[in-house]
Structure 1
Amino acid sequence: MDDRILKIATRAKLTLEALSEKITNSQIEFNAERYEPTYSKSAVASLPELAKAKVDKAVAEMEQEGYQFQKKQAGLNNVYSMGHKDITAIYEHRGVPKYRDKFKEAHTIFLTNLKGGVAKTVSSVTLAHGLRCTPALLHHDLRILVLDLDPQASATMFMKHDLSIGVVDETVAQAMLQNVSREELLEEFVKPTNVSGVDIIPASIEDAFIASQFEKLANEHLPGQNIYDVLQENIIDKLEHDYDFIFIDSGPHLDAFLLNSFVAADTFLIPVPPAQVDFHSTLKFMQRLPELFDMTETAGSEIKLSSIFGYMAKIARKSDHADAQSLLREVCGADMLDTSLPLSTAFERCGESFGTVFSTNPKFYPGDRDALKKARLKAEEFTRSVFDTITFNRKNKG
């Protein structure tokens, strides 16, 4: 092999490690490895299913029973500074039902598009964090799992960036082929992320080889199993009672990973950017969906899809963007989300430090904090739209 290629590869590896180490050290220095918003006692009282009298009563009873709430120093006094754990405990104390009490199995969401660069991964990680962190959804105490099936490992980079460098053996692709037990999945493959309650099974660049040779490898290691049912049967079926929502993030490639994701998904979300090339490419992908479904069903797999929604991504207040949104509404009809994921520098700036608008601490955000706040509010609106739409469909289906 040409020495120049080896030198470039080595330098790329060293640079990647240095960049990651720099970000990690900065997070450790400022105690920003994890960020979770905290709420005053009065702010908790404004959350769904609660009120001042209810919170006062619950807090008093819980403290009498020995529960210790998180507090912070404010002047000479200690005041309540409640995180997700405290708020969840209050809801549990009051007997408020959770999402899992109504829906026993996880709902699998696949964000898909064969056009690259359309915000699939940003949407996936934003929704994964949003379902956990959006104030209006805190009472559900949602448990989230992200399955990264893209060998580029972008979702892994956002959620567990120390695993996105070098070789990772415990990936989704490896778990599919090894067909390990539920206990092994939870102990060895599932990794916690920078937001508590949100986990990931990562990806690695080596997964690209598995994708290119999947049929051969599956026939060798999983004899008798349909090659497009592997993700569903070997991972999702085993973890469906451990999570409320499972997200799949795959690459923009027509391969076995994509078709496994088709079979495993309960809901498709299709991000549609307004840029003309992206918009046209997305419409071509949507036009081919029946063909892709036929491909998997002809192979003996069953598509169990219950809903499919398009939504505008990377959208701004421009006339051509409004035109694209109008055209998409004609294509999708009622199957279009009523909110969009906007084009905002805050999403990009958060991504520079491997975070989302939910996991980035405003104190250490390098840009305008008001812009970050607006981006988070928009992401909460988008998350609520996805959650409400899916939940409405599940109730009606049930």
Structure 2
Amino acid sequence: MMSAILDSLDIVSRRMEQEQSDLKAVIKDRMQIRVTDTAIKDSVDRLIYNHCLKKKELQELFGLSRVTFNSRIEEATKEGIIRQPIIQGRTHLYNRFDVASFMDYMKHPKYSDRFDPINIVVENHKGGTGKSTTTVTLATAAALDLNLNARCLIIDLDPQGSTGQNLIHQADEDSVYMTAVDVALSSVEPDGDFAQYLASGYDHDELIKAIPFQTHLPNLDVIPAFPSDERFVDVYWGQDESGQKKLLTLLRDKIISVLKNEYDLIFIDTPPQNSPILWAVNETADAVLIPVTPREFDFASTSNYMATMP
């Protein structure tokens, strides 16, 4: 009987994997858009296309006359700073990567010129309150704000990992995935990837900077999470009081402190639980956002959670 159940589960699992593969192929096809630009043989990624700026919009950003702007953008194109725009009908479109390069070329004011970096934690121990949606929406909006001109990072610390993994735009097949939890536990996991790289002579800070993956926006990166990150809770409870205090501050002292030298706005998505993972995140927080849905039980649950925060 048990053997038959296991065989059935195996069949279902393999069928789901195939269906997921088929679904990814369909999604990939629908995420492409054809343009009239004859220089582009293949389709353009829809996410890239949707966030392109028209030439007129780019001109208005810098407040330059048409003649002056055209002169500067022609200079940047000739110097290889930016590529030729995408032609769609009579419209000239510049993708966000070229826009970012042109802004640097024009010395457009950056967030870091005016403000210090800030770490924003989105949390609620109740599931389904919109933590992931809030995190991604705010981070994307901030990254798209050209006047803000900030470098943004999303750190996914929910072990289910859907937020971070879905945001990765391109990753090589041989890419090494390391999470914030992998780094935080490196001192007690000598066989882990991060500890192994350190033992091989790599610099700690340079490794931290290399962990984020690129999204479809040039100034928005992401550090994904994986189900194995749940082990942080078990490791924490296996430590003595001194070890527990150290684990709670590692994320702040060894990871966020480094990332704040690279990013202006850091958004952290958290698991729906009140656990050592969340306590470690709160040690890093400059700001805390607690989404709550307008339902009686959700509001009551959030009220109870707020009472535990002090």
On whether the aligned pair clears a TM of 0.5, the verdict is yes
Instruction: Determine the structure 2 residue equivalent to 1:144.
Output: 152
Shift of 1:45: 2.8
Structure 1 distance, partners of 2:100, 2:208, is 26
Q: Tell me: CA distance 1:74–1:269, structure 2 relative to 1, closer, same or farther (3 Å).
A: closer
Q: Is the 8 A contact 2:161 2:226 kept in 1?
A: yes
State how 1:301-316 maps to structure 2 within 5 Å: none
- Per-residue deviation, 1:90: 3.4
Instruction: Kindly state the Cα deviation for residue 268 of structure 1 after the two structures are TM-superposed.
Output: 0.5
Mapping of residues 226-305 of structure 1, within 5 Å = 226-290=246-310
- 1:46 lines up with 2:54 in the alignment: no
In structure 1, what is the Cα distance between the partners aligned to 2:115 and 2:15?
A: 46
How much has 1:190 moved relative to structure 2?
2.2
1:214 pairs with one of 229, 233, 236: 236
Which secondary structure does the structure 1 equivalent of 2:262 belong to? coil
1:372-398 deviation digits (Å, cap 9, x = unpaired): xxxxxxxxxxxxxxxxxxxxxxxxxxx
What is the CA-CA distance between 1:96 and the residue it aligns to?
Answer: 2.1
Q: Which amino acid aligns with 2:205?
A: R
Contact 1:215 1:227 in 2 (8 A): no
Q: 1:64 to 1:194 in 2, by over 3 A?
A: closer
Counterpart CA distance in 1 for 2:4 and 2:170 is: 27
Give the paired residue count. Answer: 276
Name the structure 1 match of 2:41: none
Q: Counterpart amino acid of 1:173?
A: V
Q: Cα offset for 1:149?
A: 1.4
Percentage of pairs with the same residue? 27
CA distance in 2, matches of 1:162, 1:18: 21
Give the match for residue 118 of structure 1: 129
* Alignment deviations for residues 208-230 of structure 1 (CA, whole Å, 9 cap, x no partner): 233233242x66xx969622102
Q: Secondary structure at the match of 1:206?
A: helix
Given candidates 58, 65, 75, the residue that maps to 2:72 is 58
The range that moved more, 115-124 or 243-252, is: 243-252
Query: What is the identity, as a one-letter code, of the residue corresponding to 1:227?
Result: L
Letter in 2 for 1:205: P
Q: Give the whole-Å Cα distance in 2 for the aligned partners of 1:130 and 1:268.
A: 18
- For the residue of structure 2 that corresponds to 1:138, the secondary structure is coil
Structure 2 runs not aligned, ≥5 long: 33-44, 188-193, 195-203
- Structure of greater relative contact order (alpha carbons < 8 Å, 6+ residues apart): 2
Please list the CA deviations of residues 252-291 of structure 1 after superposition, one character each: whole Å capped at 9, or x if unmatched.
112110100111111101112112221222222223322x
Farther-moved stretch of structure 1 (281-290 vs 251-260) = 281-290
Q: TM-score, normalised by structure 2?
A: 0.75
Q: Which residue of 1 aligns with 2:212?
A: 190
Give, in whole Å, the separation in 2 of the partners of 1:46 and 1:9: 58
Query: Is this contact kept in 1: 2:155–2:267, CA < 8 A?
Result: yes
Aligned with residue 100 of structure 1, among 109, 112, 127:
112
Aligned residue number for residue 163 of structure 2: 155
C-alpha distance in structure 2 between counterparts of 1:60 and 1:24, whole Å: 39
**Greater Cα offset, 56-65 or 151-160:** 56-65
1:145: Cα distance to partner? 1.8
CA RMSD of aligned residues (A): 3.2
